[in-house]
Amino acid sequence: MKLILITLLISLLGCSYIEKHKKSDDKKSLFNDIYSRALVYEKLIGNPYNNISRCDGLTFVGPYWAFMSNRSTFDIYKHEYSINEEEKRIDGSGQWNRDVKPCYPNDSRSGISTEGLLGALHAIRVAKDKDAIDRLIKFAEENKWIMGDGPEEYTRLIHLAPIAYKLQEVLNGSFSSGETSDAVSNPWAKISGYRGNVIADYIGLKGAIYGYLRGYELEFLKTMIEKVPNNPFYLYLYHSYTDSDYTKLIEVLTNETYFPLNKLPGKNAREVFSWGDAPHGLLYVWISGMIKEDGN
């Protein structure tokens, strides 16, 4: 009996596929309050680049652009460019960058990061941009998944290859020809070394692309909720794949101490997201968009 229980536990934590939990609930009006607040924040934000550190741009404006109501406000594709040997800019090259102007080597240790490329993939996924994912994959394969300028230890993002190939497959409606090495057969081994919010970012994007999460990913979210109980990303991702109990999530996102009605969230929101100086208004629009995309 003990052996059976251990076997079941291993299956739950490692090998099981947990799809998003669908359940009708009576909180529609409360979710609408969240969406309305996100629209107010979007108007107050104006130029999103004024709200972030320059070389963190793509990490936050990628998903913000994906979920904002009016994408014509700014052009996310200004992050997609290369600088050739003659120092001329080539737009639409498949190379995505931290900022619309080069950050490396003067302002950052690399021209791209895991968080930044996740931001680009968010934008590409929600926009259903087949050409953009094809360009990204082509650039990646031609450069052995060294995705930007700077030391390879920071720019070789092979651990994101599986979800990039899967996104290409989903958007093109056919099986991707891309192959990944044994080094990324378990990308979690690399991702799990990052900060909590970055891991949740990866988990959320993976779930949106694949349609399911693994047991160990849900265990991670559960552990993070114990550490940071009010983080909306942890709360939403965990409960959307388990029990659809959004009581705590709604309580947090409608709390005016953290998220006032008619002005952008300030330092009080910092304890909610636990993402340092991240732009809290952009994060609110991002999480609101995730919730709305799922039809809640």
Q: What is the pLDDT of residues 93-146, one digit of tens each?
A: 999 999 999 999 999 999 999 999 999 999 999 999 999 999 999 999 999 999
Looking at the predicted structure, is the pLDDT value of residue 9 above 60? no
Q: Is the pLDDT of residue 5 over 70?
A: no
Least confident of 26-35, 152-161, 204-213: 26-35
What is the pLDDT, as a whole number, of residue 42? 96
Tokens (6 digits) for 117: 């490329």
**Residue-wise pLDDT tens digits, 251-260:** 999 999 999 9
Q: Dmax of the chain from CA atoms? A: 69
Residue 206 CA: distances (Å) to CA of 28, 161, 166, 235, 255: 26, 11, 9, 16, 29
Global model pTM greater than 0.85: yes
Residue 255, judged by CB atoms within 10 A of its CB (0-12, 13-18, 19+), counts as middle
**What is the predicted pLDDT for the residue at 191?**
79
- Side-chain half-sphere CA neighbours of 32 within 13 A: 4
pLDDT of 13 above 60: no
* Mean pLDDT of all residues belonging to the chain: 89
* pLDDT at residue 175 tops 80: no
Q: Which helix (H) or strand (E) holds 185?
A: none
Confidence (pLDDT) at 189: 73
pLDDT digits (tens, 9 = 90+) for 223-257: 999 999 999 999 999 999 999 999 999 999 999 99
Sorting pLDDT into bands at 50, 70 and 90, what band is 176? low
Whether pLDDT at 2 is above 60: no
Task: Give 212's strand partners.
Answer: 19
Percent of the chain with pLDDT over 70: 88
Give CA 263 to chain center in angstroms: 25
For residue 181, the model assigns a pLDDT of: 43
Helix (H) or strand (E) holding 191, with range, is: helix 188-191
State how far the alpha carbon of 91 is from the alpha carbons of 116, 161, 172, in Å: 17, 22, 23
For residue 89, the cross-strand partners are 83
pLDDT confidence tier of residue 197, bands split at 50, 70 and 90:
very high
